[in-house]
Amino acid sequence: MATPVKKTRRTAERILDVTLELFNRFGEPNVSTTLISAELNISTGNLYYHYPAKDLLVDRLFDRYEASLSALLKAADDVHDVEDAWLFFHMLFELIWQYRFLYRDLNDLLSKNRRTETHFQYVLKEKTQAVQRVLAGLSRGNSVRLTAPEAESVATAMVVVSTYWLSYEYVRDPRHALEPENAGAALLRGASHVLSLLAPYFEPAQKQHLLGLAQAYSKPPSPATSAPRRAAVAASTTIGRAVQ
């Protein structure tokens, strides 16, 4: 039988899971604690016992995101060729997708939540350093050829495009872009666009390979069926094994 401590921890986790789902679906500013407790079928008193303020839910979800991101960004060191890079940016986009509410109303969150304000700066720095390590790995693997100033400038552009790609999709089609059934295609476009910033610097064979990958994935399966396919790609590459 579960001990009371275990049960409390399980409830706290379940609250977080449901909150993340609601934030992603409706946007954080549009989700009240009343809605969260109704969705969980618990009293608001019970919710407050675990999270005395809505901001704490945002904080804990941000912690989760930051931990997953740090783990993923470590894989930057294992990127040597275009296929590794392709997988790396796909995984990055999937993680951003899982926590898309953070990106949906980012500036609003930053102005309201002190913790997000400081930690998001750290997230951006970590992301920039990881992209720079990806570029260094690709250079060492003789996959790309770029000077130090080029690498710095391309890394910044890659970070900006990866951070705001979902916002861009949302602006272009606010009513559909961020619905789960369109996720696969949106994430694919994002990862392709981030990698295309590197296209002029890839060695000819790698550039050809990038085009091939983009074509092979250009008709993405639905999110439900794409997971095993990505898992297969992940398992077949060094970087995939490092992350799994």
Q: Which residues bind a copy of itself (CB under 8 A)?
A: 27, 29-30, 104-108, 110-111, 117, 120-121, 124, 150, 153, 156-157, 159-161, 163-165, 167-168, 170-174, 193, 196-197, 199-201
Minimum distance from residue 108 beta carbon to a copy of itself (Å): 6
Identify residue 155 by its one-letter amino acid code.
Answer: A
Which is closer to a copy of itself, CB of 61 or CB of 123? 123
Identify residue 128 by its one-letter amino acid code.
Answer: T
Identify residue 240 by its one-letter amino acid code.
Answer: G
Q: And the tokens for 235?
A: 């398992």
Residues in a beta bridge with 202: 144
DSSP code for 199: G
Which is closer to a copy of itself, CB of 50 or CB of 90? 90
Nearest to 99, CA basis, from 157, 172, 181, 183: 183
Q: And the tokens for 116?
A: 């997000």
Which is closer to a copy of itself, CB of 15 or CB of 158? 158
Which is closer to a copy of itself, CB of 30 or CB of 44? 30
For 13, the 3-state DSSP assignment is helix
Which is closer to a copy of itself, CB of 50 or CB of 104? 104
* CB 68 within 8 Å of CB 95: yes
Minimum distance from residue 53 beta carbon to a copy of itself (Å): 20
Minimum distance from residue 183 beta carbon to a copy of itself (Å): 17
Residue showing tokens 């931990």:
67
With residues binned 3-state (H G I as helix, E B as strand, rest as coil), the percentages for the chain, rounded to 5, are: 80, 0, 15
Minimum distance from residue 75 beta carbon to a copy of itself (Å): 23
Minimum distance from residue 12 beta carbon to a copy of itself (Å): 29
